[in-house]
């Protein structure tokens, strides 16, 4: 590594983000004998999603044995769906064990990156200095930037206000009049936790979500001891969970199979027909992200809770005003309003000087969710059409890690300095993906969701089953790419 403040510190690889993706990539590089990389992280710690979302009740909604790295099974998960603190600790533990924490530069927010065609390298700018690298690998996260709602007067509110992804643990909600805006997966987890302690809870709902049973339970000491001694048993459990999730994925595309389960449970949990009507979706199950929960609807039936469906028209210093003319006085406002979707490439400009964010303003397009034509030597983790509504994102991520390793290995073998996916390959791939998505529940299910692009397609979700994605990425094919040689600085893999 060389250091020169005018051109930036020089590394072979810059990884952006220290969540599951960036750290997973670092671990895989390290295992392949590649050490010349740096991880640029804007926060003061690693962990990404599981560092930032510490709201009460925050937990994974895919079984923990499946929501772990396949190469780092954790026999000690305490619950089938383990809580945030355990997942965060797992990320730190695995990263430390693989020796990648020393590569992280904290408080380094990437604010720009330009491809230098003559040097065939990236210049990366951060809030704490510049970097120069042959490769950039982005693990900036699909849901890492919380978004406040666009409601007039939000800034005039003088009570206490925070987003669920930036929970204020110093603020005591006991006895308060609390408003929650949003009823997605995060709100469904924290509402049952705060409901018993607040005085009054006003839940502002724009669109109700379909729910699906979670059936969480503690994993007993005996089970954990078995997993520690007999790792094959744990692998078998993971395999069973994988198959169960694929079955859920199949059912999501055939909503008629699962809607009756959800409706029957709602009839049991919500006796009041008026409330049940408010909570009943008018679109097909699976169209929006399904809320995996057992206690969300029961919490909404409690006497101190009101579900308000009249649209919010204005926020005032101490109240929320709705379209029906009502003014609701509150002390604290909690925003469960979600995230900017897939900011994975926002700061980068490619060969033609165009920022990827601009190129993607209508539709995000990549090849295998990993590379983008015109942005050479750049790889994205959890990029377009790699997300899933039914199983662990990490299954998709791990396929990408292997694919990128193969790409680097190929470049090393042929002594290449540049790798750029062919535009026609990328277009053909996206035509195929969009054609398959055109008849999916996400585009045809009659809802508006964060899965959808402005033109009604989706560049978020993978259309098929998980195995198909893994198969598509199993073998790096150099014919898909423009590969420029001779190499300036070949990667040693």
Ligand X SMILES: Cc1cc2nc3c(=O)[nH]c(=O)nc-3n(C[C@H](O)[C@H](O)[C@H](O)COP(=O)(O)OP(=O)(O)OC[C@H]3O[C@@H](n4cnc5c(N)ncnc54)[C@H](O)[C@@H]3O)c2cc1C
Rounded distance, CA 403 to CA 397, Å? 10
Taking contact as CB under 6 A, which single stretch among the options 40-48, 219-227, 312-320, 355-363 is the one that binds ligand X? 40-48
**If binding is defined by CB under 6 A, does position 100 make contact with ligand X?**
no
Output 208 or 383, the one with its CB closest to ligand X. 383
Among 181, 393, 407, 437, contact with ligand X (rule: CB under 6 A): 393
The residues, any chain, with a CB within 8 Å of residue 147's CB and separated by 6 or more, are 337, 338, 339, 340
Segment near ligand X (CB under 6 A), from 139-147, 217-225, 353-361, 426-434? 139-147
Strands (E), 189-331: 200-204, 211-212, 291-292, 305-308, 312-316, 319-322, 327-329
Of positions 371, 385, 392, 426, contacts ligand X by CB under 6 A = 392
What does the buried/exposed string (b/e) look like for 296-310 if buried means 16 or more CB atoms within 10 Å of the residue's CB? bbebbbeeebebbbe
Query: Which of 14, 34, 60, 104 touches ligand X (CB under 6 A)?
Result: 60
Regarding 249 and contact with ligand X (CB under 6 A), the answer is no
- Tell me if 374 sits within 8 A of 423, measured CB to CB: yes
369/381 Cα distance (integer angstroms): 7
CB of 63 to ligand X, least distance (A): 9
Dihedral of the alpha carbons of 453, 456, 461, 464, in degrees to the nearest 10: -160
The DSSP code sequence of 445-487 is SS---TT--TTS--SSB-SS-HHHHHHHTSS--GGGEEEE-S-
Q: Does 103 bind ligand X (CB under 6 A)?
A: no
54 half-sphere exposure, CB direction, 13 A CA radius: 13
Q: What does the alpha-carbon distance between residue 169 and residue 58 come to, in Å, rounded to a whole number?
A: 13
Q: Which residue in 34, 43, 341, 419 binds ligand X (CB under 6 A)?
A: 43
Identify which of residues 40 and 299 has a Cβ nearer to ligand X in the complex.
40
Task: Give alpha helix (H) positions in 14-100.
Answer: 20-31, 49-52, 84-97
Judged by CB under 6 A, which of 80, 252, 285, 382 binds ligand X?
A: 382
389 binds ligand X (CB under 6 A): no
**At closest approach, how far in Å is the CB of 124 from ligand X?**
9
Q: Residue 115 belongs to what H/E stretch?
A: strand 110-116
Stretch that binds ligand X, among 135-143, 364-372, 404-412, 437-445 (CB under 6 A): 135-143
Residues paired with 307 in a beta bridge? 203
Q: How far does the chain reach from its first CA to its final CA, in angstroms?
A: 17
Q: Is 386 a residue that touches ligand X (CB under 6 A)?
A: no
From 14, 15, 16, 151, residue interacting with ligand X (rule: CB under 6 A): 16
Is the Cβ of residue 143 or residue 437 nearer to ligand X in the bound state?
A: 143
By CB under 6 A, residue 53 contacts ligand X: yes
CA distances from 144 to 4, 24, 32 (A): 31, 17, 28
Residue from 38, 49, 262, 342 that binds ligand X (CB under 6 A)?
49
- 61 vs 86 by CB, closer to ligand X: 61
Looking at the Cβ atoms of 163 and 177, the one nearer to ligand X is 163
Q: Which of residues 407-436 bind ligand X (CB under 6 A)?
A: none
Nearer to ligand X, 60 or 251 (CB): 60
Q: How far apart are CA 299 and CA 119, in angstroms?
A: 59
Give the residue with the Cβ less far from ligand X, 40 or 483. Answer: 40
Of 13, 14, 15, 18, the one binding ligand X (CB under 6 A) is 18
Stretch that binds ligand X, among 137-145, 266-274, 351-359, 398-406 (CB under 6 A): 137-145
- Binding mask of the shown chain, residues 314 to 353, with x at each position contacting ligand X by CB under 6 A: ----------------------------------------
Q: Are 129 and 5 in contact (CB under 8 A)?
A: yes
Host H or E run for residue 359: helix 356-359
Stretch that binds ligand X, among 59-67, 203-211, 301-309, 356-364 (CB under 6 A): 59-67
- Report the C-alpha gap between 354 and 493 in whole angstroms: 31
The answer to whether 8 contacts ligand X (rule: CB under 6 A) is no
Q: Is the preceding peptide bond at 486 cis, omega within 30 degrees of 0?
A: yes
- The residue with tokens 């619950």 is 79
Instruction: Note whether 366 binds ligand X by CB under 6 A.
Output: no
| CB neighbours of residue 106 within 10 Å | 14
Helices (H) and strands (E) in the chain, counts: 14, 22
Q: Which stretch binds ligand X (CB under 6 A): 133-141, 228-236, 323-331, 477-485?
A: 133-141
**Rule CB under 6 A: is residue 379 a binding residue for ligand X?**
no
Verify binding: residue 246, ligand X, rule CB under 6 A: no
- Is residue 25 part of the contact set for ligand X (CB under 6 A)? no
Q: From CA 364, how far away is CA 169, in angstroms rounded?
A: 36
What is the four-CA torsion angle of 381, 39, 48, 457, rounded to 10 degrees? -20
Q: Which stretch binds ligand X (CB under 6 A): 13-21, 99-107, 417-425, 449-457?
A: 13-21
Of 11, 15, 25, 61, the residue at the interface with ligand X (CB under 6 A) is: 61
Binding status of residue 41 toward ligand X by CB under 6 A: yes
Interface ranges with ligand X (CB under 6 A): 16-22, 40-43, 48-49, 53, 60-62, 67, 109-110, 139-144, 186, 381-382, 392-393
């Amino acid at each position: 590594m060389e250091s020169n403040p005018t051109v930036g510190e020089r590394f072979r690889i810059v990884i952006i983000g220290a969540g599951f993706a960036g750290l997973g990539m670092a671990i895989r590089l390290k295992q392949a004998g590649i050490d010349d990389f740096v991880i640029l992280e804007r926060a003061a710690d690693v962990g990404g999603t599981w560092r930032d979302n510490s709201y009460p009740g925050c937990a994974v909604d895919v079984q923990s044995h499946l929501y772990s790295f396949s190469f780092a099974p954790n026999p000690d998960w305490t619950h089938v769906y383990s809580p945030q603190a355990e997942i965060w600790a797992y990320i730190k533990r695995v990263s430390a064990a693989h020796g990648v924490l020393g590569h992280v530069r904290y408080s380094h927010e990437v604010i720009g990156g330009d491809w230098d065609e003559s040097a065939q390298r990236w210049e990366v700018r951060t809030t704490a200095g510049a970097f120069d690298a042959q490769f950039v690998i982005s693990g900036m996260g699909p849901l890492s930037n919380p978004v406040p709602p666009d409601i007039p007067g939000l800034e005039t509110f003088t009570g206490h206000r925070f987003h669920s992804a930036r929970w204020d643990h110093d603020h005591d909600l006991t006895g308060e009049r609390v408003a929650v805006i949003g009823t997605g997966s995060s709100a469904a987890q924290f509402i049952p936790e705060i409901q018993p302690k607040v005085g009054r809870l006003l839940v502002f709902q724009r669109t109700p979500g379909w729910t699906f049973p979670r059936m969480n339970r503690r994993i007993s000491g005996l089970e954990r001891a078995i997993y520690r001694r007999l790792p094959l048993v744990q692998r078998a459990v993971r395999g069973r969970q994988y198959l169960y999730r694929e079955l859920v994925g199949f059912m999501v595309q055939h909503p008629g199979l699962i809607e009756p389960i959800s409706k029957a449970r709602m009839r049991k949990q919500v006796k009041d027909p008026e409330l049940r009507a408010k909570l009943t979706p008018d679109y097909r199950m699976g169209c929006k992200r399904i809320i995996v929960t057992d206690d969300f609807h029961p919490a909404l039936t409690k006497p101190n809770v009101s579900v308000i469906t009249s649209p919010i028209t204005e926020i005032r210093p101490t109240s929320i005003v709705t379209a029906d003319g009502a003014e609701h006085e509150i002390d604290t406002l909690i925003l469960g309003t979600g995230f900017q979707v897939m900011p994975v490439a926002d700061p980068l400009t490619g060969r033609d000087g165009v920022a990827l964010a601009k190129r993607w303003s209508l539709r995000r397009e990549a090849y295998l969710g990993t590379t983008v034509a015109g942005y050479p030597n750049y790889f994205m983790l959890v990029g377009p059409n790699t997300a899933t509504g039914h199983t662990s994102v990490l299954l998709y991520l791990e396929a990408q890690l292997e694919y990128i390793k193969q790409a680097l290995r190929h470049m090393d073998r042929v002594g290449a300095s540049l790798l750029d996916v062919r535009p026609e390959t990328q277009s053909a791939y996206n035509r195929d993906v969009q054609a398959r998505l055109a008849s999916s529940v996400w585009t045809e299910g009659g809802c508006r969701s964060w899965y959808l692009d402005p033109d009604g397609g989706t560049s978020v979700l993978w259309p098929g089953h998980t195995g198909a994605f893994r198969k598509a990425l199993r073998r790096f094919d150099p014919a898909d790419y423009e590969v420029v040689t001779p190499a300036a600085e070949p990667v040693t893999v």
